[in-house]
């Protein structure tokens, strides 16, 4: 493939690192600042006595659950009633209940799985006050939980891990909002619409009428990228020129996908005072991401079986990018489409700038595997690094077994309770994905959602439950909405979000109570390259081996047949 | 504990809706309309005082005097109010058949102006649907393939058409990001404007 594309990918990872490191330091400051600002003090006064106090992990977890439930209820009601409410210039009717249920859960869980076309289903009110608000808040909930978990890890002999309201507020006002404004300004400049006017109507050069959907797009796109949300304003998401008009807008949107998850690794390093350890985690994540980007790019540049056999010109030349251009845009070509697809599934973002259903078997297998790791390769805002903690504990445990000592992590003894929680955190979601995929494949009701016949139909199904469980939201978009698939997906998203989150908080509670022990000659060092190798090995052995049989039935079979 | 948390949740939701649901987009709309009015309203293009389309959306061109867009999977084609992927898998027989038909149609249309044209001369973007269904660009290769036909039908020197192609080619952002493409609507508008002079 041409050097130009490789150069863009290298530029991307360099700029990412240059931005993520200082942002991580800033975020550590935000979450550890002792003093409340004026608005915080105001809130806690209104909330009543004790509302700003530190919480133990159970109290923190219950607050997260109740808050999410209340928000879900209101969002569901809004979607059902949008036809009777204001800010609806294109007269969208209320959303049907299976889609409203799926969508409300989808946004509250930071998944942004979309069983609907945004521009043809949602009123401006729903997009702005429902979905866009949830883009901010569900992301901030994930970030708050991570802040609490990291705080728990960093503390000694402590019963508490922080205050949910304070963490939520700071995530929103100190991190999400300023970054969203910056990204939105760049996107507007590049051509993303930002208006309250309804559809524009054009009389085309050949005399037809063309209706052009627009709206307050840029303000929503910036947060859907930054908050690893991924729910687009338009059905084809960031493939649509109005959502992503230029090479520069694409670069910025793709950076926004990874920015906060990458920064959180450095935030962690600073908060627990283990910077070298954080660098090793970053290295492990980066190496796994690089493999995914490489495989996807090479596979897509090689073209699909159908295109190779058709005889058309798929070679990369100075006048075309060539390769598998099905459901891809000319201004992104192969390199930028592949880079986006790998990064959006490393994190739990799930926005797309090309149609994944049309990807080659190898190109389509990369996102499936990326997501299946539990989004531990950078991962979603907050939730991703928590997923990585589970693998780190398993790695440390395995290392402890090898040398015959009680495993330690950051000076704390890892015992039966922590290992149970880590096992639940790492294994629950992959197991659920395989089970739900089996249910969806084995039943007539599940079969109705499949668009492509044969093994590709299996891949569509696997992708759907993989994506929803990991709160990603990208899709082999042929997979359709039925009441059955909406309901199954709703369960998938709920458990996929809250089971690992609760395991993470419980783990933090347990670690916070421990005393630290000084490192000895028998302590496994987590700040060197050996740890990176071991960590990647653990992820390959747990997630990799679990997904392999399913991959064989889907992408691998498809690749071998042609 | 339960009631208190519910009440607090409601308060936070109301506050976030005001800030993120209304204030934030309202401020951004205000800024956008003041600083970048053309982009903020959909990059609309005008001809003789009326809107003829958007620089960011393909539209249906079938006439031989026009450059044609990439295939579109939307209903109807090039629907800028309901975008979609085609979603055919990489080994789909339907996809194979569609690509074959599109290639045949191009050979029939461009063949008379390009003697010796074969299927291996057709760039891949000409026979594949775009991601959005309204991709405003075609590759430079596909534009070059169509230029002889457009020049012949419009009785223009090929050099004039080629010059318009390069004028309406969007390069990489900042010289490095993305891929170059030819904006079909802007190119066709420029061709129509030649006649007006």
CB contact (8 A) between residue A74 and residue B5: no
Q: A213 contacts in B (CB within 8 Å)?
A: 80-82
pLDDT number for residue A123: 86
Please, which pLDDT band fits residue A477 given cuts at 50, 70 and 90?
A: confident
User: Mind listing the pLDDT tens digit for each residue in A246-301?
Assistant: 999 999 999 999 999 999 999 999 999 999 999 999 999 999 999 999 999 999 99
Q: Is A398 left (phi over 0), alpha (psi -120 to 50) or beta?
A: alpha
Alpha-carbon torsion angle A511, A175, A183, A78, nearest 10: 90
Res A495 pLDDT > 60: yes
Name the residue of chain B whose CA is nearest to A336's CA.
Answer: B178
ipTM of the complex model: 0.96
CB B73 within 8 A of CB B129: yes
CA-nearest of A117, A189, A549, A124 to A369 is A549
Q: What DSSP line would sit under B87-100, residue for residue?
A: ---TT-HHHHHHHH
CA dist., res. A472 & res. B149, Å (int):
46
CA–CA separation, A136 vs A279, rounded Å?
28
CA distance B194 to chain A (A): 14
User: How distant is the Cα of B130 from the closest Cα of chain A, in angstroms?
Assistant: 4
Residue of A516, A412, A510, A517 whose CA lies nearest to A161: A510
pLDDT band of A237, cuts 50, 70, 90: very high
Q: Which residue of A has its CA nearest to B31?
A: A185
Q: What is the model's pLDDT at position B118?
A: 96
How much is the pLDDT for A127? 80
Instruction: Tell if the CB–CB gap between B57 and A234 is shorter than 8 Å.
Output: no
**b or e along A245-266 (b: 16 or more beta carbons within 10 Å of the residue's beta carbon)?**
bbbbbbbbbbbbbbbbbbbbbb
* Alpha carbon distance A174, A33 (integer Å): 12
Q: Is A48 left (phi over 0), alpha (psi -120 to 50) or beta?
A: left
CA A527 vs. chain centroid, Å, equals 27
Phi, psi of A202 (to 5 degrees): -115, 145
Q: Which residues face A202 on adjacent strands?
A: A210
Enumerate long-range contacts of B153-162, CB under 8 Å, 24 or more apart: B153/B64, B153/B65, B154/B65, B154/B191, B154/B195, B156/B194, B160/B194, B161/B191
Q: Which of B13, B51, B140 sits opposite A319 (nearest CB)?
A: B140
Residues near A380 by beta carbon (within 8 Å), at least 6 away in sequence = A110, A142, A228, A261, A347, A348, A349, A470, A471, A472
Q: Which residues of B touch A316 (CB under 8 A)?
A: none
- SS3 of residue A299 by DSSP: helix
pLDDT at res. B196? 60
Q: How many CB atoms lie under 10 A from the CB of residue A480?
A: 14
In angstroms, the CA A398 to CA A392 distance is 10
CA nearest B166: which of B194, B150, B195, B190?
B190
Q: Which residue of B has its CA nearest to A557?
A: B91
Q: Between A361-372 and A275-302, two packed helices, what is the crossing angle to 10 degrees?
A: 160
pLDDT at A111: 86
Q: Which residue has the higher pLDDT, A304 or A87?
A: A304
Chain B positions in Cβ-Cβ contact with residue A478 (cut-off 8 Å): 87-89
Task: Note whether B60 contacts A325, CB cutoff 8 Å.
Answer: no
Average pLDDT over chain A reads: 92
Which of B4, B11, B90 is facing A360, going by the closest CB pair? B90
Judged against a pLDDT cut of 60, whether residue A406 lies above it is answered with: yes
Instruction: Report the distance separating Cα A328 and Cα A362, nearest Å.
Output: 16
Give one word for A405, left, alpha or beta, with left for phi > 0 and alpha for psi -120 to 50: beta
Interatomic CA distance for residues A108 and A106, integer angstroms: 6
In chain B, which residues have pLDDT < 50?
none
What percent of chain A lies above the pLDDT cut of 90? Answer: 75
A168-171: Cβ within 8 A, 24+ apart = A168/A67, A168/A137, A168/A140, A168/A141, A168/A144, A168/B12, A169/A39, A169/A40, A169/A43, A170/A30, A170/A31, A170/A33, A171/A139, A171/A140, A171/A143, A171/A144, A171/A147
Which of B29, B33, B83, B119 best tests the A interface by mutation, with the highest count of A CBs <10 A? B83
**How would residue A120 be classed by pLDDT, with cut points 50, 70 and 90?**
confident
By three-state DSSP, how is residue B181 classified?
Answer: strand
Cβ atoms of B185 and B53 closer than 8 Å:
yes
pTM: 0.94
Which residues in chain B have Cβ-Cβ distances shorter than 8 Å to A120?
A: 81-82
pLDDT value of residue A331: 97
Angle A70-A228-A88 from CA coordinates, rounded to 5°: 60
**Pick among B1, B43, B85, B138 to test the A interface (most A CBs inside 10 A):** B85
Query: What are the Cα distances from residue A267, in Å, to A27, A264, B74?
Result: 6, 5, 44
Contact status, residue A324 vs residue A303, Cβ threshold 8 Å:
yes
A117:B82 CB<8 A: yes
Question: CA–CA separation, B76 vs B154, rounded Å?
Answer: 28
CA distance A330 to A341: 16
Q: Is there a contact between B128 and A326 if contact means CB atoms under 8 Å apart?
A: yes
Per-residue pLDDT averaged across A11-26, rounded? 97
Please judge whether B90 and A208 are an interchain contact, meaning their C-beta atoms are less than 8 angstroms apart: no
DSSP state of A320: B
Per-residue pLDDT band at A562 (split at 50, 70, 90)? low
Q: Do A327 and B128 touch (CB under 8 A)?
A: yes
Least confident of A38-52, A512-526, B117-131, B168-182: A512-526
- Chain B residues with CB inside 8 Å of A361's CB? 90-91
Q: State yes or no: pLDDT of A108 exceeds 80.
A: yes
pLDDT confidence of residue A124: 80
Give the H or E element holding residue B45: strand B44-47
| pLDDT at position B186 | 97
Q: Which of A92, A20, A546, A484 is nearest to A286 (CA)?
A: A20
pLDDT of A25 over the 70 cut: yes
**Closest C-alpha among B67, B40, B68, B34 to residue B56:** B40
pLDDT at B60: 96
Residue A214 φ/ψ, nearest 5 degrees = -145, -170
- All structural domains of chain A with their residue ranges: 382-561
């Amino acid at each position: 493939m041409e050097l130009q594309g490789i150069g863009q990918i290298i530029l991307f990872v360099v700029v990412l690192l240059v931005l993520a490191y200082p942002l991580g330091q800033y975020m550590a400051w935000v979450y550890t600042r002792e003093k409340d600002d004026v608005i915080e003090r105001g809130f806690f006064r209104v909330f009543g006595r004790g509302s700003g106090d530190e919480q133990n992990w159970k109290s923190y977890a219950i607050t997260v659950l109740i808050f999410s439930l209340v928000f879900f209820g209101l969002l569901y009601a809004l979607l059902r009633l949008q036809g009777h409410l204001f800010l609806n210039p294109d007269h969208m009717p209320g959303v049907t209940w299976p889609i409203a249920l799926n969508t409300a859960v989808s946004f509250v869980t930071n998944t942004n799985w979309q069983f609907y076309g945004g521009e043809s289903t949602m009123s401006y009110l729903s997009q702005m006050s429902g979905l866009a608000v949830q883009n901010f808040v569900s992301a901030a909930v994930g970030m708050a939980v991570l802040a609490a978990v990291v705080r728990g890890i960093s503390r000694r002999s402590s019963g508490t891990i922080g205050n949910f309201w304070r963490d939520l507020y700071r995530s929103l006002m100190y991190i999400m909002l300023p970054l969203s404004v910056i990204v939105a300004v760049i996107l507007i400049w590049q051509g993303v619409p930002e208006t309250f006017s309804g559809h524009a109507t054009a009389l085309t050069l050949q005399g037809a009428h063309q209706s052009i959907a627009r709206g307050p797009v840029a303000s929503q796109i910036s947060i859907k990228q930054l908050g690893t949300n991924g729910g687009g304003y338009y059905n084809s998401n960031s493939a649509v020129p109005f959502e992503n008009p230029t090479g520069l807008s694409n670069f910025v949107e793709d950076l926004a996908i990874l920015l906060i998850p990458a920064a959180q690794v450095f935030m962690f390093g600073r908060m627990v005072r283990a910077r070298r350890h954080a660098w090793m985690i970053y290295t492990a994540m980066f190496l796994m991401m690089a493999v995914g980007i490489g495989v996807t790019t090479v596979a897509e540049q090689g073209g699909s079986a159908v295109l190779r056999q058709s005889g058309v010109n798929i070679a990369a030349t100075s006048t075309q990018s060539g390769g598998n251009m099905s459901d891809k845009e000319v201004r992104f070509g192969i390199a930028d489409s592949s880079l986006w697809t790998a990064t959006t599934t490393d994190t739990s973002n799930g926005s797309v700038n090309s149609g994944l259903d049309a990807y080659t078997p190898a190109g389509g297998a990369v996102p499936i595997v990326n997501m299946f790791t539990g989004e531990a390769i950078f991962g979603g805002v907050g939730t991703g690094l928590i997923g990585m903690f589970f693998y780190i504990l398993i790695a440390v445990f395995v290392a402890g077994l090898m040398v015959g000592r009680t495993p330690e992590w950051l000076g704390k003894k890892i015992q039966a309770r922590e290992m149970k929680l880590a096992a639940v955190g790492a294994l629950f979601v992959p197991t659920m994905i395989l089970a739900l995929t089996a249910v969806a494949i084995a039943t007539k009701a599940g079969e109705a959602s499949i668009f492509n016949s044969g093994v590709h139909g299996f891949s569509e199904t696997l992708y759907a439950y993989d994506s929803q469980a990991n709160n990603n939201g990208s899709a082999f978009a042929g997979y359709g909405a039925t009441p059955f698939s909406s309901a199954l997906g709703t369960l998938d998203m709920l458990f996929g979000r809250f089971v690992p989150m609760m395991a993470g908080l419980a783990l933090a509670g347990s670690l916070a109570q421990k005393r630290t022990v000084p490192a000895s000659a028998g302590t496994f060092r987590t700040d060197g390259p050996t740890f990176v190798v071991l960590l990647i090995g653990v992820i390959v052995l747990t997630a990799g081996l679990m997904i392999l049989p399913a991959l064989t039935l889907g992408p691998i079979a498809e690749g071998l047949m042609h | 504990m339960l009631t208190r948390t519910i009440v607090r949740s409601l308060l936070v939701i109301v506050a976030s809706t005001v800030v993120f649901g209304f204030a934030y987009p309202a401020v951004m709309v205000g800024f956008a309309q003041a600083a970048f009015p053309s982009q903020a309203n959909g990059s609309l293009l005008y001809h003789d005082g009326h809107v003829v389309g958007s620089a960011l959306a393909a539209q249906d061109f079938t006439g031989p005097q026009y450059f044609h867009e990439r295939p579109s999977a939307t209903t109807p084609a090039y629907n800028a109010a309901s975008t979609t992927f085609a979603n055919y898998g990489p080994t789909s027989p339907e996809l194979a058949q569609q690509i074959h038909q599109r290639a045949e149609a191009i050979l029939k249309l461009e063949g008379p102006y390009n003697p010796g044209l074969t299927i291996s001369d057709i760039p891949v973007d000409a026979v594949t649907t775009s991601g959005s269904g309204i991709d405003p660009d075609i590759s430079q290769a596909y534009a070059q393939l169509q230029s002889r036909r457009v020049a012949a039908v419009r009785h223009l020197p090929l050099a004039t058409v080629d010059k318009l192609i390069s004028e309406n080619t969007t390069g990489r952002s900042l010289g490095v990001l993305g891929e170059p493409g030819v904006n079909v609507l802007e190119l066709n508008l420029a061709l129509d404007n030649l006649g007006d002079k």
